[in-house]
Chains A and B, each alone.
Chain A
Amino acid sequence: MNADVRRYDLLQDAGPGSRADGAPFPRPPAASATAPPPPVRLRIEGLRVRGAGGDILKGIDLEAPRGEILAVIGPAGAGKTTFLRCLNRMVDLDPNLAVSGQVRLEGEPLIGRPVDLALLRRRVGMVFSVPIPLPMTIYQNVAFGLAMGGVPRRRHAERVEEALRAAAIWDEVKDRLDLQARRLSGGQQQRLCLARTLALRPDVLLLDEPCSGLDPISTAKIEEALQDLKKDLAVILVTNNVKQASRASDRTAFFLFGEKVEHRPTDALFTTPEDPRTADYISGRFG
């Protein structure tokens, strides 16, 4: 399905009133339904984040096109998670951080202006490093975002199934959707969290070390699911696992102390890193 039609669908689902009058992404639906979708979903321009103890990000430029997985690697403290949290303005939750620069979601600036955060976060979905199922059933977890976004109840079942299938967990849970989500195994929980985000049919998917606590089989399942998903999505995958980046991504950006050191197609970056620091990191000499 065409991506813009899909999004238009979401807005219709949302029904009247669920979207604030000042639509944050004014886009004439007639025009966008016919025009080809722009290849770059997310463009990050000079993104800078200042914290209490200095700069966490020091001017990042990056692009995340649809149909690709962009991996962000780097040692702890490189600013990877903060970077991710800027892209759906989750960074707003920490009042100590000052964000400057710009992030554009299909051309629309997101930073430094009032944006409908609820709608933004539906369009830019996020999966956290630790699976955190909400204290409800599997079904309710996946339908949570739908309910919050005002998608009518009768559409939930179909969207929940679609999302659980996309996250490669449908077969494991289809007979026990009323089970408390915390009863699932860690790997299942994380796929449930992925499904929960996908149920909103986002345009961009942000993954913050989604496999850090998982066994290799669960990891493989998630990576496999991502390969299918990226057709319709721009995926940004922050990972501590260099191997995962080399396996699962199309492009890789290497962050170090809040700076983007290198950003190239994954194959090239891993075979012939241009910067010596990149070479040191991917060969495991530090970090």
Chain B
Amino acid sequence: MNRGTRIIGWLFTSLTGFACLIIVAMVAVILGNIAIHGVERLSLDFLFRSPESGMTGGGIFPAIFGTAALVILMTIAVIPLGVATAVYMHEYAPKRSRLVHGVRLAVQNLAGVPAIVFGLFGLGFFIEFVGRGIDRVLYGGELVYGQPAILWAALTMALLTLPTVVVSTEEALRAIPQAYREVAFSLGATRWQVLRKVVLPQAVGGILTGGILAISRGAGEVAPIMFTGAAYFLPHLPTRLNDQFMELGYHVYVMTTQSPDVEATKPILYSTVLVLLALTFALNFTAILIRSRIRRRLRAGR
């Protein structure tokens, strides 16, 4: 090897290494900054009290509660729909079917739609069309469902996270050896029995992972719920499906842009972001844990 080649080799090694270093440094700075400033205000009191005096005091409990409620409602909506879609595409539809191709294309495109567009769609479709329609038919035009509400926010969020669930469920189904299905068929199982007794029990880990990833994505998104149900400030917790709610991400957004006293809000803002990040990371971590456990089990099964 001559000197030139060696220098180029060394150069590329350091360049690629440097690129990695930048990413690590960025993450460290962001997380470090948030952690250091956020820890100050963090306390049980902060987690379990409502905001006070124009967001400059108190805690963030309504936002935590609202986030949890939103995420639960979203999961209830997105898991059945996403899993059913994936199961149909992978287990029932004929191979190379046009319909499946179309659905897959739609799912991929859905994944590429900006979150704010989902928000506008939710406003236009769920609130203006579905909600107003319900009001007209059932409540004689009185405003009950035709307004921003946690139900509509959850459904909008479900649409946003649908691709995650569909894709991860499909992957889970693909990971199950075709031979299991053949064996089950050969033992006189019907299509539904094969699905229920062999395929779904094996896929449940992957489906769960998809669900958790969807949740962690949903918990961090603000745009889709901005017009569909999130409230600037609500003293009470949402109790009905057509209530508005507070949400962590939106709370952060509100405190950053709309606070009457930005300086006074800052410590609270840091702590809120810390809580939001911790929540999202914890969910992601759980997903990774489940997935690796499933992989290990599958490997051992071969």
Contacts and interface: CB of A to CB of B under 8 A. Distances in A.
Interface in B174-201: 177, 179-180, 182-190, 193, 197-198, 201
B182 A121 contact: no
Given A95-B95, A135-B202, A135-B301, A128 B183 contact: yes
Contacts of B179: 128, 130, 132
- B interface, size bucket: 20 to 34
Between B186, B188, B189, B300, the greatest number of chain A beta carbons within 10 A of the residue's beta carbon is seen for B188
A37 to B, nearest CB: 21
A268 interface: no
Contacts of B202: 135
Contact of B301 (A118, A182, A196): A182
Contacts of A193: 183
B198 A121 contact: no
A144 B186 contact: no
Nearest to B183: A132
A90 interface: yes
Contacts of A196: 187
Interface in A111-156: 117-119, 121-122, 125-126, 128, 130, 132, 134-135, 144-145, 147-149
Nearest to B302: A182
Contacts of B54: none
B255 to A, nearest CB: 50
Contact of B187 (A93, A130, A135, A148): A148
Interface of A: 88, 90, 93, 95, 117-119, 121-122, 125-126, 128, 130, 132, 134-135, 144-145, 147-149, 182, 193, 196-197, 200
Interface of B: 94-95, 177, 179-180, 182-190, 193, 197-198, 201-202, 300-301
A93 B182 CA distance: 8
13 contacts: A118-B189, A121-B186, A122-B187, A125-B186, A128-B182, A132-B182, A132-B183, A134-B180, A144-B187, A144-B197, A148-B197, A182-B300, A197-B186
A4 B179 CA distance: 31
B185 A132 contact: no
B301 A197 contact: no
A100 B187 CA distance: 24
